[in-house]
Amino acid sequence: MPGYLLIESRDPFECADSKHFFDLAQSLAKDKASAPVTLFLVQNGVFPARKCEHSPALAALKKGGVEVLADDFSLRERGIKAGNLIPEVKSAALDVVLDHMEQGRKVLWH
């Protein structure tokens, strides 16, 4: 199975429904019949990748089997250095989206 790529572009400080998107990622990862699940943070969605009140949700996703990545360009544009990310989030180039699409992953953008 190709799996899922969930792209989060919204800041959870401004958009309360980001939590529901994180919950969807967790649910997909818990389904043992499901293939890999990746959450890719872009634009203002990268803000919880640094230590803040929303970062425990990302840590829980990683612990639950979701790969959590943050767009390196979005991080730079917002002055967030890769060294300031919580350990559960890895910086990655936007090319990851194309790679996952090429693999046949189902893509959901929020």
Distance CA 60, CA 43 (A): 21
22 or 54, which is more confident:
22
Distance CA 72, CA 92 (A): 5
Q: pLDDT for 66-97, tens place per residue? A: 999 999 999 999 999 988 999 999 999 999 99
Per-residue model confidence (pLDDT) at position 76: 95
The yes or no reply on domain 4-109 and CATH 3.40.1280.30 is: no
Evaluate whether 41 touches 89 at the Cβ level (below 8 Å): yes
| CA 31 to mean position of chain CA atoms | 18
Domain boundaries defined on the chain? 4-109
pTM: predicted TM-score of the whole model, two decimal places:
0.91
